[in-house]
Amino acid sequence: MTDLLAIGTRKGLWLARSEDGRRSWTLDGPHLLSQEVAAVSIDTRRASPRVLAGVQYGHWGPSVTWSDDLGGSWHETDSGAIRFPADTGAALGRVWQLRPDTAARPDVVWAGCEPQSLWRSTDGGCSFTLVRGLWDHPHRPTWEPGAGGGAVHTVLPDPDTGRVTVAMSTGGVYVSDDGATGWRPHNRGISAVFLPEPPEYGQCVHKVAADAGDPRRMYAQNHFGVFRTDDGGASWISIADGLPADFGFPVAASPSTPGTAWVVPLVADVQRVPPDGRLRVHRTRDAGSSWTEVGEGLPDGSWTAVLRDAFCTDDHERTGLYLGTRDGCVYASADEGDTFTTVAEHLPDVLVVRAARLP
């Protein structure tokens, strides 16, 4: 069995493989050299695993490309996989998220994009359709872009129902209970320190992850604040006590162990570096009631940052964690964050990591 780690950077994509149970990694790349790869997914629902990448061809604009032979060849739809309909007057700015749906929906892939928009593919990511219900939402004209741009960056399809949860910076969390037609803001309890009053929407939610035990339990890393909901986003409570900083970009939840999640705190707002320059992961085993610093093997003297999608899990029984930094380092843990080994150094800024087991 092969463990595959896809590493999207500001200047290309690398693929790392482990054949020894995630103890050592071999780096393959660069693929797509000079192209920004801000979104990547490894779709293992297909006969041949598909690496799907959201790329920015430097001067030449954004697109979606895929490889069904692990980087041997790349393809894109002639007319573009993601094209705004003419009546919108909009144009794709950047692909921020590519999210394969469940195995029960084998050809469905979701894309979150800039400008703030959600897209759905039913052909494995070759072509996407704009989700009109969110695009036409009366709130959309008032969603402001964060510093990185205004985008849907998180898409969480419920495995058992037609519910879909998205998050955007800014805008906050929105939920559809009818298969992505109607959308309601779900931000009660999430603070927004840059606004005078807690708003119904407009929060700068950086990332949301769903708990293994119940998809209605979710964790949110916010622009200041870490939160949990137990009711599908209807209400959120702070779970930041015990963390050295409540700012950060990613949050990841175990796909197998309920109550287990990880964040990577950064000192903010201006600095956005690990506390005291010590890059560490903080883990909860009790859904955020308490946190423990872990990460033996992660560096001290690390004045970098981990972006929202540069942190992910795998689906091993003992969850693996993968973390990439803006200074081009990638670390892997096979023991739920207790210890990390170095996968890569001196890459361009790491924007996204995604892991999968291949047969």
Partner 1 sequence: MQLVLPGSLADLAGGVRELDVEPAGATVAGLLDALAARHPVLERRIRDEAGALRRFVNVYVDGEDVRWQGGPATPLRDGAVVQVLPSVAGG
Residues 6+ apart with CB under 8 A from 106: 45, 46
Q: How far apart, in whole angstroms, are the C-alpha atoms of residue 355 and residue 359? A: 13
- Supply 171's token pair: 């805008």
**Does position 347 bind partner 1 by CB under 8 A?**
no
Q: Is 139 in the site for partner 1 (CB under 8 A)?
A: no
**Given phi > 0 = left and psi -120 to 50 = alpha, else beta, which region is 185?**
beta
Contact in structure between 97 and 153 (CB atoms under 8 Å): yes
Quick check: 358 binds partner 1 (CB under 8 A)? no
Give the shortest CB-325-to-partner 1 separation in angstroms: 19
Q: Which of 27, 44, 74, 90 binds partner 1 (CB under 8 A)?
A: 90
Contact 150, 144 (CB under 8 A): yes
Binding marks (x or -) toward partner 1, 64..83, rule CB under 8 A?
A: ------------x-xxx--x
- Binding to partner 1 by residue 84, rule CB under 8 A? yes
Residue 234 interacting with partner 1 (CB under 8 A): no
Q: Return d(Cα 311, Cα 315) in angstroms, integer.
A: 14
Closest approach of partner 1 to the CB of residue 174, in Å: 24
Q: What is the dihedral of CA 124, 159, 156, 10, to 10 degrees?
A: -40
Q: Which stretch binds partner 1 (CB under 8 A): 51-59, 260-268, 277-285, 317-325?
A: 51-59
115: cis peptide before it, omega within 30°? yes
Q: How far is the CB of 173 from partner 1 (least distance, A)?
A: 28
215 binds partner 1 (CB under 8 A): no
Binding-site size, partner 1 (CB under 8 A): 17
- How would you classify the pairing of strands 226-229 and 341-344? unpaired
Nearer to partner 1 among residue 80 and residue 198 (C-beta): 80
Does 89 engage in binding with partner 1 (CB under 8 A)?
yes
Residue 285 near partner 1 by CB under 8 A = no
Please give the residue ranges that form the binding site for partner 1 (CB under 8 A). 57-61, 63, 76, 78-80, 83-84, 86, 89-92
